[in-house]
């Protein structure tokens, strides 16, 4: 078992096994700075919606030490910054952003740079229900990591903002387990009974892979609920069958399948965000 078993940490939660950290994380990323024909020079920002919870209780009672995956958050943000954008960061409760630090690429100077730039916002983010509308924003970005499943899919405040973005055709960017937040668009209190992304094509970390990973110790036990199954039940069309770093877009929705999609997602999304902002005089 050893190297292929999730490991209890000092806090009593479980980190991924040494084996899965060896093959599934890296000290650097695939980020390469892009050259853009047009960049954004306005004052409106990208709203980055993160998790402020990091403990996921699995069906066997063990607790996974999770949060937002740092590569999924910070690599797309590097591309958005390169395209001229700045950020606001928000969480459900206004608590500090929780990262999966066991996945942090600690030899990547570019990631360290953007992290330092937004660190103060991550430590004292806005509270979602204190953001009344999207008038100050050009796009919404919701990074993945299992932690985004904890309190964002049931957030009425997030659901209302995503519905506003949908109505405005405002770019909405997410990856991996981030599509779990699609469920928020039709929770009680949003005024909507149908998911905003019904009929949309999307990438998503697959339930099949989530079911496999406890056997190699990435997760300490079976998932408490299934993202892919849940969003498909709401009418979302998940087009990937495995994780390859793939990305796609459908109307305003821009998605990636896994942490490995972080760079590809930024490359795809950044010029689309610039185009939307310029065409709408933002």
Give the pLDDT confidence of 56-80 residue by residue, as tens digits: 999 999 999 999 999 999 999 999 9
- Per the prediction, the chain carries an average pLDDT of 97
pLDDT greater than 90 at residue 139:
yes
Predicted confidence band at 2 (pLDDT cuts at 50, 70, 90)?
low
pLDDT of residue 3: 74
Segment 259-281 mean pLDDT? 98
Active-site residue, selected from the candidate residues 50, 148, 176, 195: 176
Strand partners, 237: 201
Q: Which residues contact 152 (CB under 8 A, 6 or more apart)?
A: 49, 51, 92, 142, 158, 180, 181, 184
160-181: per-residue pLDDT in tens? Answer: 999 999 999 999 999 999 999 9
H or E segment and range at residue 191: none
Q: Structure pTM?
A: 0.97
- Would you put residue 147 in left (φ > 0), alpha (ψ -120 to 50) or beta? alpha
Is the torsion defined by CA of 205, 211, 212, 214 positive or negative? positive
Residue 105 in tokens: 């690429």
pLDDT of residue 5: 87
Q: How far apart are CA 150 and CA 148, in angstroms?
A: 6
Q: Is 176 a known active-site residue? A: yes
Total number of residues shown for the chain:
282
Q: How far apart are CA 15 and CA 203, in angstroms?
A: 25
Residue 107 in tokens: 């030899």
């Amino acid at each position: 078992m050893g190297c292929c078993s999730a490991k209890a940490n000092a806090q009593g939660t479980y980190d991924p096994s040494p084996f899965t950290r060896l093959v599934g994380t890296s000290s650097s990323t695939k980020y390469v700075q892009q050259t853009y024909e047009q960049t954004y020079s306005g004052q409106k920002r990208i709203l980055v919606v993160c998790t402020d919870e990091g403990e996921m209780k699995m069906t066997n009672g063990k607790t996974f030490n999770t949060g937002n995956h740092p590569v999924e958050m910070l690599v797309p943000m590097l591309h958005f910054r390169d395209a001229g954008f700045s950020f606001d960061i928000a969480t459900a409760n206004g608590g500090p952003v929780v990262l999966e630090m066991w996945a942090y690429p600690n030899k990547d100077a570019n990631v360290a740079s953007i992290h330092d730039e937004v660190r103060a916002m991550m430590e004292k983010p806005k509270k979602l229900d204190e953001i009344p509308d999207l008038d100050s924003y050009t796009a919404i970005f919701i990074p993945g990591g299992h932690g985004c499943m904890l309190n964002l899919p049931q957030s009425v405040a997030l659901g209302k903002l995503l519905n506003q973005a949908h109505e405005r055709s405002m770019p909405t960017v997410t990856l991996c387990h981030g599509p779990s937040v699609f469920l928020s668009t039709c929770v009680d209190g949003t005024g909507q009974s149908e998911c905003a992304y019904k009929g949309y094509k999307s990438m998503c970390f697959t339930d099949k892979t989530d079911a496999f990973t406890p056997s190699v110790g990435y997760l300490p036990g079976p998932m408490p609920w299934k993202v892919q199954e849940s969003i498909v039940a709401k009418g979302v069309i998940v087009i990937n069958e495995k994780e390859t770093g793939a990305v796609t877009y459908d109307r305003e929705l821009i998605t990636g399948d896994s942490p490995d999609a972080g760079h590809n997602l930024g490359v795809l999304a950044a010029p689309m965000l610039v185009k939307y902002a310029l065409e709408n005089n933002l």
